[in-house]
Amino acid sequence: MRIAYTNLIDAASAPTCLTVDLLYPAANIQNGRLSKRWRSTSPTAQTVVVNLGSAMSVDTVAILGHNLSTSSTLTIEAHTSDSWGTPALSAVTLTHSTSAVLKFLSASQSYQYWRFTLDDATNSDGYVEAGRLWLGEYLTIDPTSTVAFTVTKLRSDTVAYGRDRQKYATEGVGWREFNLSFPRTNGSVLTAVQTMYDTVGNHGSLLFCNFDSLRTYPLVEPVYCSIVGEIAFRHTRYMKFEYGLTFTEDR
């Protein structure tokens, strides 16, 4: 299980995009809501350059809330300066996914400048857009959750019935909720989980990946979400604690 909860882009200056629709500015990438999107004016070979201010370690890259098609070509590069002829980290391919384009790098990379390239020439919208671009590091939760976790699919449909069972409804949207319990845990992992909760609480959003890099089970696809409620640590013995986490998908 992997969780990324600090997006380095949020503390950086506004990203520099090759093209920008003025109604959907680059600064929207740093907004926590996926519905606030950056949008280009063309779908072809669009670049977004992020200046982190100094070299920072990154092993997690993501594109969230996007309109990218399955035929798109997506890459990430990194360098010591805003110059891309021969970058120190040459183009790493990002695999398309409707829910979340997510890449865990084979090794952590520390650079100041990062460049996303989104090339989607056949996109029927005539542009590419993204609600969030993500650069950061992931936390490994080990021991991971027990086998018996729950994934609940929820909806915001508004439904009312008349006296004679006539149905009146307004379609909403769907989202997932994950309820997980964890076995006895102590040491650095227990400390890291507390640090995560102290950092994001219920107010911040994070990336939750239940099966690391495995992407063949749509119901448990990686999710942009928030922690719901508190974390109760139940002592078992020898200063080991069992606890539970609830994640609810954000938009």
Q: 222 vs 161, 216, 238, 248, 249, CA distance in Å?
A: 36, 11, 34, 12, 10
Q: What is the predicted pLDDT for the residue at 30?
A: 96
d(CA 26, CA 48): 9
Q: What is the predicted pLDDT for the residue at 13?
A: 93
CATH topology for 2-138 is Jelly Rolls (2.60.120)
Q: What is the predicted pLDDT for the residue at 213?
A: 80
Q: What is the predicted pLDDT for the residue at 240?
A: 93
Mean pLDDT for back-to-back runs of 10 residues, the chain (251 residues): 97 96 96 96 98 98 97 98 96 93 96 98 97 97 91 96 95 96 94 97 96 86 96 93 96 91
- Delimit the domains of the chain by residue range: 2-138, 150-249
Q: What is the predicted pLDDT for the residue at 44?
A: 97
pLDDT in tens, 191-229: 999 999 999 999 999 999 999 888 888 899 999 999 999
What pTM was computed for the model? Answer: 0.93
Cβ distance 141 to 194 under 8 Å? Answer: no
